[in-house]
Every structure is written in C-alpha cells, then in structure tokens.
Amino acid sequence: MIYMRDSGGAKLLAAYGCNALICAVGLWYFVQRAKQCLDFAFTVHFWHLLFVWLYNRIFPSYLSWWLLQIVCVAVTTVLGEYLCLRTELKAIPVSLGPKVDL
C-alpha cells in the first residue's frame, strides 16, 4: 500500500516562497533604493497581517505562521537589497565626446 502525505503544507510553503521572491522583485522595480527595502518589506507584511486578522477574525497565534512570516520578510529584504544594490552600483557611463559649451 502506498501512503501519500498531505501536500497542503508544502503548497503553502511554496506559495509563501514565491510571494517573497515576487515581493523582492517588486522592491527592486518600485523602491529602487537598498536603504528602503527593509521598511517596505515590513510594511507589506504588516498589511498582510492586518488582512489575515480581518479575514479570519482571529489574531494569528500559530508559531509556525510567525516563523514563516519572519523567514519571508528576511528573504524579501535580503533579495530586494541585493537587487537594488546591483542596480545602484552600476558604473555611470561617461561620454568621451566633445564638451558642449554652456
């Protein structure tokens, strides 16, 4: 007999992981500043907490949910800062053409 485990938890973890990656790309696209990534990541997850609280009509009390949120904030922040820093640290091209007389 083949035993199959419930895959609901794995799907939920995958969804939160994808959400963290998409939020990091969103930080890179919209915020574009590495210094502001932590603030925006916490703000997005704070709004998520409020919506979860309102939707379920109960404050989340599971330790696993809180740990998952902490990991998602960390992934979003670190990856967002990495992407923003790569953009910020690109060399600024300087033209070697003739000067324009202003």
Q: Could you read off the pLDDT of 34-85 as tens digits, one per residue?
A: 888 889 999 999 999 999 899 989 998 888 888 999 999 999 999 999 998 8
Q: Output the pTM of the full model.
A: 0.75
Please tell me the distance from the alpha carbon of residue 84 to that of residue 44, in angstroms, as a whole number: 17
Question: Which token pair is 75?
Answer: 């992934």
Amino acid identity, position 41: A
Question: Do 87 and 95 contact (CB within 8 A), yes or no?
Answer: no
Phi, psi of 63 (to 5 degrees): -65, -35
Instruction: Note every long-range contact of 21-24, with CB atoms under 8 Å and residues 24 or more positions apart, other chains counting.
Output: 21/75, 21/79, 23/72, 23/76, 23/80, 24/75, 24/76, 24/77, 24/79, 24/80, 24/83
What pLDDT, on the 0 to 100 scale, is given for residue 60? 86
What pLDDT, on the 0 to 100 scale, is given for residue 101? 63
Q: First and final CA of the chain: distance in angstroms? A: 84
